[in-house]
RNA sequence: GCCGAUGUAGCUCAAUUGGCAGAGCAACGCUCUUGUAAAGCGUAGGUUAUGGGUUCGAGUCCCAUCAUCGGCUCCA
């Protein structure tokens, strides 16, 4: 993976040969589709990470059978070695060529007048309009392409699935049919990619969640509302315990707040103005309206405001596992990754302007340190700032924004990290840093968010008394470190493929007596393990040893302790790891020491 | 929410053109007392997601609803 990255840095993907192959494969696919549906309309078809797609408007829905046919036809076209011919032409001429292709006409208008590209993004100056033609298919396209279709490896192309996609990604527009495909230089690369997809599927937290009995959803309870089972609960309790300890050490105070609050609170906070779509309908209690909380901040602010504060009290750091409920559209729910009720490991920092840089540095360092303990080593850091073209849509003073951005950058740089600056991605109330982690398959997941807030301190008229005896407004930072417990758990499951490190494993050791006469010894050993703080159980089912091992392997238990006549005679247990390694006889005490060390060091196994 | 697909036992899946809902695993019971990834035999388990409709007859065809899956949009 590291190598691939280096290679990418040498030649940017958009200029690589593979990019051209995929772009060309998209054209070939479009030709095959249009041959099948001569009146079909084509939209756009770019290369993407690992493949390509093309969007169509067709008279009927495509079936998997259609994909097979299209794929077969593509191979024939490829073998025809048709040259890709580029031609530049005027907008008027282009309109003639694509007279019966409304989406292309719209693209041409964009290119000509406003200077918008096919993704609807503004481009500086109106570009030259070009078309690429191969065999019978011609497409409005800036290229580049391979010389001829023969450069595409027909055995390294595969169509994957059909999906709906809005024209230009806007839900007000027509829904088109998108065909996703993948293309590589060699069959081996294609197979490796398909293997990667399979690997991702095997790690799917929804499947593992059922197999390991971690969590479920119930039709009776409702969609997007997760039920944590005892095994998932054990892991979560472990995470929360560790988190609590780190936060105590890190100078956070633990707070607890209710799940609902009066309408007025949400009016003041601004949520009813700009977050109403994400909130559930109000409850009426004694003629007062209450809302279920979509965020915890107003409550933490209420705690802050419950008394006068001196500058000497600052910084103050309030942390809470705050359970929030947000309306998510039904089609967006996805296992634990996207739910309607979730618990944020939320915290709010209140401080003076002078304290701000140190607070930011502290919270960033703190976050990375905790994420590393969960086995994440690589991070993408994104700095989201204002859209310079649209300064009107943000709260706060210009100077605040500059100060905040400088504080964020300085913290990132002090830690020697690289980051990506994203304009226009800031929340309206302030800039933010997001941390994405890379998992075991090198996929990235948004986890941590650290957000400045210039709005709430003002909206709630927060104050502290400064050294000068005058009231001042504190600065405020929101931060969710693990993000949501649900999503974080989902990511952990996929990262570890369900094989949690010893400190998190729901069952750390499975005691496996070979025959009934070994049960009592096993129960004695179990008592010792439990007394030592380990999570263990005895498999006293009627199964044979082989099946007991198989079951424990399936549950991904890190240690299996086999007990038979020999072990009892030696006062030992026979230690098997879930890797399959047989470490042989070990005394119970030695095993306890070893397991405790693995827990303490959070050993990644 | 939108486009498309799917929904049969706890799980994985069968069931010919519309013609008696079935298997493996899991569960439970009995026998065996076992040496590093599946012992044998037996028992039980279902209003085929839900509600309507067509039909002599519906798991199968039609309509609606719900949920899930692949995407789009949105996001912790």
Domains assigned to chain A: 2-197 (3.30.980.10), 210-257+293-496 (3.30.930.10), 509-600 (3.40.50.800)
Q: Which residues of A are catalytic?
A: 297, 326, 344, 346, 348, 432, 478
The answer to whether some atom of strand B lies closer than 7 Å to the beta carbon of A393 is no
The answer to whether some atom of strand B lies closer than 7 Å to the beta carbon of A229 is no
C1' nearest to CA of A554: which nucleotide? B37
The Cα–Cα gap between A409 and A468 comes to: 30
The answer to whether some atom of strand B lies closer than 7 Å to the beta carbon of A478 is no
Instruction: Provide the token pair at A109.
Output: 């208008």
Which are the contacts of A327, defined by CB distance < 8 A and separation ≥ 6?
A277, A278, A279, A280, A340
- Chain B bases closer than 7 angstroms to a protein Cβ: 1-5, 11-12, 26-28, 30-39, 66-76
Chain A 40-79, CB < 7 Å to strand B: 61, 63
**Percent share of chain A, pLDDT over 70:** 96
A391-406 pLDDT tens trace: 777 888 888 889 899 9
Predicted confidence at residue A596, as pLDDT, reads: 98
The answer to whether some atom of strand B lies closer than 7 Å to the beta carbon of A421 is no
User: Mean of the pLDDT values across residues A496-502?
Assistant: 97
Phi, psi of A32 (to 5 degrees): -60, -40
The answer to whether some atom of strand B lies closer than 7 Å to the beta carbon of A177 is yes
Edge-first strand order for the sheet with A283-285 is A260-262, A288-292, A283-285
Among A99-108, A392-401, A558-567, the range of highest mean pLDDT: A558-567
| CA of A380, C1' of B7: distance in angstroms | 39
Predicted confidence at residue A8, as pLDDT, reads: 45
Instruction: Provide the token pair at A253.
Output: 């105070």
| CA of A268, C1' of B19: distance in angstroms | 67
Question: What 3-state DSSP class applies to A177?
Answer: strand
Question: Which residue is closest, via its CA, to the C1' of B30?
Answer: A542
The answer to whether some atom of strand B lies closer than 7 Å to the beta carbon of A219 is yes
| CA of A330, C1' of B50: distance in angstroms | 19
Band of the pLDDT at A289, cuts 50, 70, 90? very high
| CA of A258, C1' of B32: distance in angstroms | 58
User: Mean of the pLDDT values across residues A425-440?
Assistant: 91
Q: Is the pLDDT of residue A374 over 70?
A: yes
Segment (H or E) for A197: helix A187-202
Distances (CA, A) of A99 to A33, A39, A67, A95, A137: 19, 12, 27, 6, 14
C1' nearest to CA of A550: which nucleotide? B37
Instruction: Count CB neighbours of A149 within 10 A.
Output: 25
| CA of A290, C1' of B64: distance in angstroms | 34
Interface confidence: ipTM more than 0.85: yes
A532-541 pLDDT tens trace: 999 999 999 9
The answer to whether some atom of strand B lies closer than 7 Å to the beta carbon of A424 is no
Chain A 440-469, CB < 7 Å to strand B: 446-447, 449
Band of the pLDDT at A123, cuts 50, 70, 90? low
User: Mean of the pLDDT values across residues A504-517?
Assistant: 97
Burial label, A438 (beta-carbon count in 10 A; 0-12, 13-18, 19+): middle
Predicted confidence at residue A110, as pLDDT, reads: 86
Angle at CA A180, nearest 5°, toward A177 and A181? 145
The Cα–Cα gap between A454 and A292 comes to: 24
Q: How does DSSP classify residue A127?
A: P
């Amino acid at each position: 993976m590291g190598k691939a990255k280096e290679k990418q840095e040498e030649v940017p993907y958009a200029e690589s040969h593979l990019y051209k192959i995929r772009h060309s494969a998209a054209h070939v696919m479009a030709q095959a589709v249009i041959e099948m549906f001569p009146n079909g309309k084509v939209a756009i078809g770019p290369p993407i990470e690992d493949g390509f797609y093309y969007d169509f408007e067709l008279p009927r829905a495509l079936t998997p059978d259609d994909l097979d046919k299209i794929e077969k036809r593509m191979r024939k076209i490829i073998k025809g070695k048709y040259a890709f011919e580029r031609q530049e032409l005027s907008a008027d001429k282009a309109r003639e060529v694509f007279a019966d292709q409304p989406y292309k006409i719209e693209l041409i208008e964009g290119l000509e007048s406003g200077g918008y590209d096919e993704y609807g993004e503004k481009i500086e100056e109106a570009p030259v309009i070009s078309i690429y033609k191969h065999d019978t298919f011609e497409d409005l396209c800036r290229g580049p392409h391979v010389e001829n279709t023969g450069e595409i490896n027909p055995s390294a192309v595969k169509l994957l699935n059909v999906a709906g996609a809005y024209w230009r990604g806007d839900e007000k527009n027509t829904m088109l049919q998108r065909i996703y495909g993948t293309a590589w230089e060699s069959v081996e690369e294609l197979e490796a990619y398909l293997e990667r997809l399979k690997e991702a599927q095997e790690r799917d937290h929804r499947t593992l969640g059922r197999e390991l009995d971690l969590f479920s959803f119930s039709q009776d309870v409702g969609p997007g509302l997760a039920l944590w089972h005892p095994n998932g609960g054990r892991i979560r309790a472990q995470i929360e315990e560790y988190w609590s300890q780190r936060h105590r050490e890190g100078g956070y105070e633990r707070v607890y707040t209710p799940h609902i609050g009066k309408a007025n609170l949400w009016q003041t906070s601004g949520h009813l103005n700009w977050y109403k779509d994400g909130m559930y309908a109000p409850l009426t209690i004694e003629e007062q309206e209450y809302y279920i909380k979509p965020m915890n901040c107003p409550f933490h602010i209420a705690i802050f405001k419950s008394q006068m504060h001196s500058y000497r009290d600052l910084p103050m750091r309030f942390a809470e596992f705050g359970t929030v409920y947000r309306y998510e559209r039904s089609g967006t729910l996805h296992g634990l990754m996207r739910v309607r009720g979730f618990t944020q490991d939320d915290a709010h920092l209140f401080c003076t302007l002078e304290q701000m840089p140190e607070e930011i540095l502290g919270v960033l360092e703190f976050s990375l340190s905790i994420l590393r303990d969960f086995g994440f080593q690589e991070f993408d850091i994104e700095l989201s700032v204002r859209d310079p073209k649209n300064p009107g849509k943000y709260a706060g003073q210009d100077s605040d924004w500059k100060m905040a951005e400088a504080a964020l950058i300085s913290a990132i740089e002090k830690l020697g990290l690289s980051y990506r600056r994203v304009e226009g991605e800031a929340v309206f109330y302030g800039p933010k840093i997001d941390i994405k982690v890379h998992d075991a398959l090198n996929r990235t997941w948004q986890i941590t968010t650290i957000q400045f807030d210039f709005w709430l301190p003002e909206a709630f008229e927060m104050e502290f008394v400064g050294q000068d005896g005058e009231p001042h407004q504190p600065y405020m930072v929101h931060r969710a470190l693990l993000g949501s417990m649900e999503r974080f758990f989902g990511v952990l499951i996929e990262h570890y493929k369900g094989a949690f490190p010893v400190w998190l494993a729901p069952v750390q050791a499975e005691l496996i007596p070979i025959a009934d006469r070994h049960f009592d010894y096993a129960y004695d050993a179990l008592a010792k393990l439990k007394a030592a703080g380990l999570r263990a159980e005895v498999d006293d089912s009627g199964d044979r040893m082989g099946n007991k091992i198989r079951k424990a392997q399936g549950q991904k238990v890190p240690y299996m302790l086999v007990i038979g006549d020999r072990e009892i005679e030696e006062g030992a247990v026979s230690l098997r790891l879930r890797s399959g390694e047989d470490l042989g006889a070990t005394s119970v005490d030695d095993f306890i020491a070893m397991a405790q060390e693995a827990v303490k060091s959070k050993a990644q196994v």
